[in-house]
Amino acid sequence: MSDKSDVWQGTLALMVLKTLEALGPLHGYGIARRIEQTSGDLLSINYGTLYPSLLKLEQEGYISSEWGTSDNNRKAKYYKLTRAGRRQLARATRSWEQTTEILARFFAPAQES
């Protein structure tokens, strides 16, 4: 049994966009490794989930892709953030911050009135 967690529903796209914003163009394997690394290896990225998410983000216009050559000289599809993707990242970040603030209220010690 693994100590790694699966990625929460709805957060993978945000993590992909943030990763591409921070590091620039990356291939799918690089995106997955960076997300896992950033999580302190607490998350496990399933490629059966990652690649459909990348395809959806591309169809929505938030990322674009082009073929290139990886560090080990293999053909790889590289993804990069688009202008629309930067706007979506800003919106999703605000929404996530609001959601975590609301949830934090449920875990905070009860205040006496």
β-bridge pairing 43-44 and 5-6: parallel
Is 7 strand, coil or helix? coil
**pLDDT at position 50, please?**
93
- For 25-40, what is each residue's pLDDT tens digit? 999 999 999 999 999 9
Per-domain residue ranges for the chain?
5-107
CATH of domain 5-107: 1.10.10.10
**pLDDT at position 108, please?**
87
**pLDDT at position 109, please?**
79
Alpha-carbon gap, residue 28 to 23, rounded angstroms: 13
DSSP 22-55: HH-SEEHHHHHHHHHHHTTS-EE--HHHHHHHHH
Six token digits for residue 55: 């395809």
**pLDDT at position 1, please?**
42
What are the per-10-residue average pLDDT scores of the chain (113 residues)?
Answer: 62 96 96 95 90 96 96 94 98 94 89 60
DSSP 46-60: -HHHHHHHHHHHHHT
